[in-house]
Structure 1
Amino acid sequence: MQQLETLASDAQDLGSGMVVLAASEAEAARQLQICNACRYCEGFCAMFPAMTQRLMFEKADIHYLANLCHNCGACLHACQYAPPHEFAVNIPRAMAQVRGQTYKDYAWPPALGRLYERNGLVLALALAAGLALFLVLAAALTGSLWRGVVAGNFYNVFPHNLMVWLFAPVFIFAVLALGMGTRGFLGRIGPATLGGAPATPPAMGEATGAALTLKYLDGGHGEGCNNEDDAFTLSRRRFHHLVFYGFMLCFAATCLGTVYHYVFGWEAPYDLPSLPKMLGAAGGIGLLIGTAGLWRLQRRRHPLHGDPAQKPMDLGFIALLFMISASGLALWLGRDTPAMALLLCLHLGAVMALFLTMPYSKFAHGFFRSAALLRFAVEKRGVGASVENTD
């Protein structure tokens, strides 16, 4: 106990000679020093075994560990030094605050990093509604608002080439911005993980498996996360799976539809049992259920979990994905009705809003966390090799 009190006192001054540490980073370092002395939670998510490999926590270490944290909440509910204890150890909140900082720090272009602070629920909904209204007015001015009902043909409302020119540049920029941001993040944390050891195929395989299965949302014991109380639940992991794989199925349907159009000359819309339609329908339903579930969990999470300042961004991202899935399914069901053109405008407006905000929304956390998981897999192998050589 005396040792922990001394560490807590010393950690208050951690970073005093390192002016580059932001307040959130210094607070995270203070708490990590306490956790490193206690180590009660080292069996939980990947952050804790990675933490134990360090005696001090530089800026890159803190950024790395923050993005390894999956915010499952297990450590908060197990911690004897959590609030209202004077040490006030709340790793989920400290790591979430630093994660939010990393999104801004590594944003590309750097000048747009502050958009993370404004990318909230109101902005997401307003942007989607504004873009949908713009498309409705454009369709009305060209006289195609009702003409598209003929055979339920989307291209009677907006020509295929027009939609390509509208969406392709935004999508390419979003991918480029996320890629450059992740590259900058990896460049920063690489030297912090065993001197920047290269990623080997086994390490990449392990990191990919951990990311695709959301391994560390099991709370470290397979029973799941804490959400609103001390009870464990796998709901958060399952809803995340529905959202991720639902999104990927919808994306695969779009890619396959592009192949159908340009390679085989088969124009949308496609009917069941065509592969694009089956992929899109399954993905849309999964995305609808997953986002509704995550919205409910997010609204009911324990008040000490995560960073309250980021909740509008989280809810805005969930809302946009829900709107995309709901409007897409409604468009499918109503494509042969007079409402088809209006539903198309609503769906395209939501998709465009997602693309425009994607590089500066919660979407970035998947890229950053995957990068951190890769460095964790590399680091584990380096530690094992060092021990073996010593023996």
Structure 2
Amino acid sequence: MRLGCLMVMSLGLASAAEPELPRATVARVTGAMVVDGRLDEPFWKQTAEQGGFGRLGGKGTPSVATTFRVAADATALRVGIVCQEPNPEQLVARTSRRDGPIWSDDSVEFLVQPGPRFYYQFAVNAAAAQFDARVPLEGGAGTAEATLWDGVWQTAVHREAGFWSVELRLPWAALDLGPETLGTWRLNVGRTAARRMEYSAWAPVVKGFHDLPRFGYLDGLAIKPTDYPLDGSRLQIPPLRVGGNRFRLRLPARRAGPYQVKMAVQRWAPGPPPARRPVGQPLSAKGGELAMDLRVPVKEAGVLQQLVVEVAEASGRPLLLRAHLFQAPDPLVANLAWPVAYAGDGQVRAAVTVALAPGFAPGLLTARLTSNGKAVGKPTAFPLPRSGDYPVALPLTGLPDDLYQLELTARVPEVGEFREVLPFYKVVGPFDQAGRAAGPSS
């Protein structure tokens, strides 16, 4: 009996020690939003300011304050974050690339859980570099699925004396909304002050910004489950290469439509996402699925690019937005077996790899030798029916010792021409007959 009382008292003390989870309410607003980081549009004055940040793990109040506001319109969530900072010129922002390690910089993170399957992380450093992730509730933030997800969203950073501020615009169509969407979302906002190595958060998290059970609450969203009838949570885009990539868009649909698919491909750059153009005519879902074959033309390799896919309803309102960041591999890569060829080898050999989008028209791989800018011998052509590895060998018999270049050119109809030049020396080797004759006697 005494033990039972102690257990009840212990449970009561533990419950009393649990911090109260904070709540924020979304302000429904209208009017344009210019994403410039300034928070100077009139609607921000209608939005309640949220503060009360604490150091990570309940270790007291941070040395500088952070506040945020959340508003919503018919198509997106609007977030404004203000970080007090006595020396904004000393902010740390080493990372400039998309999805880089911005958490080691001065940065803010907006984490939100709209439904039972995922929560989302949108992070921005003081140089406006972005990081995003869609974290499955089964598996957690360390899974590849989380970090490979790319959202379509906008952000900007502004600095002034005494503070720096961030604006984010997160389209509803990027958040996998549907019948499972919660009436009240879970929310946390975190800040990293890199120079002071200080981490603070709005919610009383202990294990880090991703401590989901201790997230606060976001009220007042009023999302209708029927407004988003497409399920893009399992949408997968295959690896993209130079050429005309093709894949089949397949989306479970809870409404017949009609729908308009739109698409854009371009180099990735900070700022607004690229304008999407319609692909084909509006189409309807059949058998509960919206399906369409998409052709994705890629013209460059080795640079960060983005594919944006949008599906809109007849009125033009976006229902699904998904980005895919990629860097296409070089279409032609060649390596010599050895940068020096001996006379006794009889030939120069190279390993050639062709990496183009599947289904291209057969082309030709041409190899030739040059020296001092002049062709040596006749070129040799190899059929190029598909991507893959191609061994190349050209004869060296009768050629004098010299510096040569093995020039390789892949020509593929409707895709392009790609070239590699591999320099090498032809010399008399230690086991060549000529080498032994010229060497000193023993």
Query: Is the TM-score greater than 0.5?
Result: no
Structure with greater strand percent: 2
TM-score (norm 1): 0.24
Higher normalized helix content (fraction of residues): 1
Q: RCO (CA 8 Å, sep 6+): is it higher in 1 or 2?
A: 1
The structure number with the bigger radius of gyration is 2
TM-score (norm 2): 0.21
